[in-house]
């Protein structure tokens, strides 16, 4: 009996010890951070620790700086005095870490160089969830790193508590720091858009998508790039944020039109940002925000870059695509001082040609307009192709044509031996075609032909991958057509259809149909009212007067 009482006393003593030392046998706490889509890595550190002698205390290396990391700040964060909680020995009540972190406090903690990253956390990149199981109670700082390409976010430090009386804690990146304002956020979206929002041609400024997506040489396009520079936490000691813009061959940036503005005032190139051009490519420029400007931001800031570009090159093919790409490079982790994060956008513009090589198939040539000769009886002059023994209408060289819009001559060409009336670098629209000079020995066609170019474009109709895997939404050229209306009203339409950017053949051939403009052999009479007509009138009068003089002379002779 005596031994049994001793055993019971021992068990009770052990139970009392266990009750008093509850923290030593407390269950692990599951930490969970959600909303980390786009993150590629997560590191975490202990900021506040617990010990039974003092309660909540700063963990190293923060405890080394008692000037910055004071008891007052500790109490502000935990919401409790830094002492052991009250309660009975059988049921101790340990204070919870309230986790009150303002953006200023987050910056203070993040500014400390901490090399003691903990291990054991797991990031699920599919769900954007990070989890870790910790035995030590306290406050932890979680530092995610964003994706290097196509990343949508910059992450600032998050703070999560492991409390005595809770087995799990969850924090989402969409939650704010506990400020009176939403100055710095835990998760900043990185966005960039590039649009052609004005298009100047023939003195007219258009603002609709049709005008912006189709161009011709000489047109001026106004581009607007809009992006957002994030408010980086202080653990980003040398952040990078720069915008690189590139226009394609066939466009020229008008350098004196570039402007850079921000919601937080920018003092100009060389101070808050730099504007540089590529020595090897003058149509590529970079706007880089300074580290000092980024550090001085109090919140995410919109940055707007605007400039004009002139369309310079004509299209060598039936249609010519001009891609214009913008790339935003940004720091996506505190240690990133080069800008490994990338975000892109792209605009597309098309010009068109008549009687040109069909892009993608060098063996084919469109033939919407061809100059041919006809015999005096109206039948077409023909030629026989040697290799195919095929007889076609014989083309004529030396005919000069003008393509006009209103009273403006847009293009002028003279046909070569193939007879093609080749015009390049055309925008969509309606034109008038006239022959101004016939080949030697032929009579000029005096009719006016109407040429109408139309394009079917779907705005934001496709998703493309650019750069190192960044997806962007772009416009799509579904097809275009060239309709020629003869002076008598007869219409001929050449239509071209695209599938995923590839020109599609219809029954083995492309969709071009030829309008033949004929010349008849003969002498071209001068225009009515010209000097040639006057000569004929004068000659006729001289002949009449001469005949009259002869008749009068004969009558006088007979009378004598």
Instruction: State the virtual CA torsion across 231, 232, 234, 237 in degrees, nearest 10.
Output: -130
User: What is the per-residue pLDDT across 89-140, written as a single tens digit (0 to 9) for each?
Assistant: 444 445 666 667 888 888 899 989 888 889 889 999 899 999 999 988 889 9
pLDDT surpasses 90 at 404: yes
Q: Which of 446, 249, 231, 223 is nearest to 347 (CA)?
A: 223
As a whole number of angstroms, the distance between CA 103 and CA 159 comes to 11
pLDDT for 20 equals 45
Which tokens go with 129? 């969830």
Which range (236-245, 261-270, 399-408) has the least confidence?
A: 261-270
Instruction: Express each pLDDT in 378-389 by its tens digit.
Output: 666 655 444 334
To the nearest 5 percent, what fractions of the chain are helix, strand and coil?
Answer: 15, 45, 40
Mapping DSSP onto H, E and C, the string for 317-336 reads ECEEEEEEEEEEEECCCCCC
Q: Quick one: which H or E segment has residue 544? A: helix 531-559
Q: Give the integer Cα–Cα distance in Å for 435 and 400.
A: 6
- pLDDT at residue 203 tops 70: no
Residue 385: the pLDDT is 44
Q: Taking residues 428-436, what's their average pLDDT?
A: 93
Instruction: For residues 292 and 300, give the distance between their C-alpha atoms in angstroms, rounded to a whole number.
Output: 15
Q: For residues 548 and 163, give the distance between their C-alpha atoms in angstroms, rounded to a whole number.
A: 131
Alpha-carbon span 110 to 44, nearest angstrom? 11
Are 415 and 447 within 8 A, CB to CB? no
Q: What is the pLDDT of residue 143?
A: 92
Task: Say how far apart CA 139 and CA 56 lie, in whole Å.
Answer: 10
Task: Look at residue 289 and tell me whether its pLDDT is greater than 90.
Answer: yes
- Give the integer Cα–Cα distance in Å for 446 and 486: 11
When the candidates are 2.60.40.740, 2.60.40.10, 1.10.1740.10, 3.90.870.10, the CATH number that belongs to 190-354 is 2.60.40.740
The token pair at 245 is: 């813009």
Q: Which residue has the higher pLDDT, 247 or 559?
A: 247
Q: Is the pLDDT of residue 24 over 50?
A: no
Assess contact for 266 and 297: CB atoms under 8 A.
no
| Residue, of 66 and 78, whose pLDDT is higher | 66
> Using one digit for the tens of pLDDT, what is the confidence trace for 135-174?
888 899 999 988 666 567 889 999 988 887 778 888 888 8
DSSP reduced 3-state for 140: strand
- Structural element, H or E, at residue 16: helix 2-20
Q: What is the pLDDT of residue 60?
A: 93
pLDDT in tens, 293-346: 998 888 889 999 999 988 876 545 566 666 788 889 899 888 888 888 888 888
CA angle (17 as vertex; 16, 23 as ends), nearest 5: 115
Higher pLDDT, 214 or 117: 117
pLDDT at 1 over 80: no
Q: pLDDT confidence of 182, banded at 50, 70, 90?
A: low
- Tell me whether the CATH fold assigned to 190-354 matches the one assigned to 369-521: yes
Q: In this structure, how many other beta carbons lie within 10 angstroms of the beta carbon of residue 221?
A: 25
Per-residue pLDDT, 150:
56
Nearest alpha-carbon partner for 140 in 29, 241, 238, 35 = 29
- Domain boundaries in the chain? 26-184, 190-354, 369-521
* Range in 71-75, 287-291, 428-432 the model is least confident about: 71-75
Lowest mean pLDDT among 186-190, 209-213, 214-218, 423-427: 209-213
- Rounded to a whole number of angstroms, the distance between the first and last alpha carbons of the chain is 191
- What pLDDT does residue 384 have? 47
- pLDDT mean over 70-92: 64
Residues 424, 482: Cα–Cα separation, whole Å: 13
Question: In 284-299, which positions are buried (b, 16+ CB within 10 angstroms) versus exposed (e)?
Answer: bbbbbbbbebbeebee
Give pLDDT tens digits for 446-505.
Answer: 899 999 999 888 887 777 777 666 777 888 888 888 999 999 898 988 888 887 767 776
> Residue 306's pLDDT is what?
93
Tokens read off for 70:
């004071």
pLDDT class of 281 with cuts at 50, 70, 90: confident
pLDDT at 458: 84
Average pLDDT along the chain? 77
Do residues 302 and 316 make contact, with C-beta atoms less than 8 angstroms apart? no
Q: What is 369-521's CATH topology?
A: Immunoglobulin-like (2.60.40)
Which of 131-145, 176-190, 370-384, 417-431 has the highest mean predicted lDDT (pLDDT)?
Answer: 131-145
Residue 87 banded pLDDT, cuts 50, 70, 90: very low
C-alpha distance from residue 487 to each of 126, 275, 484 (Å): 64, 55, 10
Average pLDDT over residues 357-365: 62
């Amino acid at each position: 009996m005596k031994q049994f009482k001793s055993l019971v006393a021992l068990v009770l003593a052990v139970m009392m010890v266990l009750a008093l030392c509850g923290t030593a046998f407390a269950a692990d706490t599951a930490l969970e951070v959600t909303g980390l889509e786009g993150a590629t890595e997560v590191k975490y550190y202990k900021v506040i620790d617990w010990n039974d002698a003092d309660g909540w205390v700063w963990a190293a290396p923060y405890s080394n700086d008692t000037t910055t990391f004071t008891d007052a700040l500790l109490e502000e964060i935990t919401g409790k005095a830094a002492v052991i909680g009250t309660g009975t020995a059988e049921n101790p009540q340990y204070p919870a870490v309230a986790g009150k972190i303002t953006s200023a406090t987050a910056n203070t903690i993040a500014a400390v160089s901490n090399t003691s990253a903990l291990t054991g956390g797991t990031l699920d990149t599919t769900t954007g969830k990070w989890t870790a199981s910790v035995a030590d109670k306290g406050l932890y700082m979680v530092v995610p790193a964003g994706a290097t390409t196509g990343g949508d976010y910059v992450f600032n430090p998050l703070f999560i508590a492991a409390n005595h009386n809770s087995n799990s804690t969850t924090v989402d990146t969409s939650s704010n720091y506990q400020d009176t304002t939403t100055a710095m956020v835990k998760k900043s979206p990185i966005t960039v858009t590039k649009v052609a929002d004005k298009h100047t041609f023939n003195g007219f400024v258009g603002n609709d998508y049709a005008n912006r997506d189709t161009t011709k040489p000489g047109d001026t396009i106004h581009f607007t790039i809009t992006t957002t520079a994030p408010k980086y936490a202080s653990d980003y000691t040398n952040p990078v944020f720069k915008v690189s813009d590139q226009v394609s061959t066939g466009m020229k940036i008008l350098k004196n039109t570039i402007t850079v503005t921000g919601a937080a005032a920018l003092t100009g190139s060389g101070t808050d940002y730099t504007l540089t051009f590529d020595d090897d490519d003058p149509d590529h420029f970079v706007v880089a925000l300074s580290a000092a400007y980024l550090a001085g931001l109090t919140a995410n800031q919109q940055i707007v870059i605007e400039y004009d570009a002139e369309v310079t090159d004509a299209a060598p093919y039936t249609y010519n695509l001009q891609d214009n790409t913008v790339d935003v490079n940004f720091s996506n982790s505190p240690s990133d001082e080069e800008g490994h994060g990338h975000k892109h956008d792209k605009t597309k513009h098309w010009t068109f040609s008549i009687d040109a090589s069909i892009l993608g198939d060098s063996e084919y040539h469109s033939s919407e307009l061809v100059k041919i000769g006809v015999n005096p009886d109206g039948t077409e002059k023909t030629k026989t192709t040697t290799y195919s023994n095929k007889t076609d209408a014989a083309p004529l060289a030396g005919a000069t044509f003008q393509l006009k819009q209103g009273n403006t001559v847009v293009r002028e060409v003279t046909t070569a031996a193939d007879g093609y009336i080749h015009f390049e670098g055309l925008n969509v629209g309606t034109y008038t075609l006239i022959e101004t000079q016939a080949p030697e020995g032929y009579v000029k066609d005096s009719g006016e032909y109407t040429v109408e170019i139309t394009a079917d474009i779907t705005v934001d109709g496709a998703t493309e991958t650019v750069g190192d895997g960044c997806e962007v939404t772009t416009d799509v050229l579904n097809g275009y057509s060239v309709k020629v209306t003869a002076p008598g009203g007869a219409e001929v339409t050449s239509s071209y259809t695209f599938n995923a950017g590839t020109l599609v053949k219809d029954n083995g051939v492309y969709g071009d149909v030829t309008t033949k403009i004929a010349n008849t052999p003969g002498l071209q009479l001068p225009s009515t009212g010209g000097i040639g007509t006057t000569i004929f009138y004068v000659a006729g009068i001289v002949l009449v007067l001469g005949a009259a003089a002869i008749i009068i002379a004969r009558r006088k002779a007979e009378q004598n």
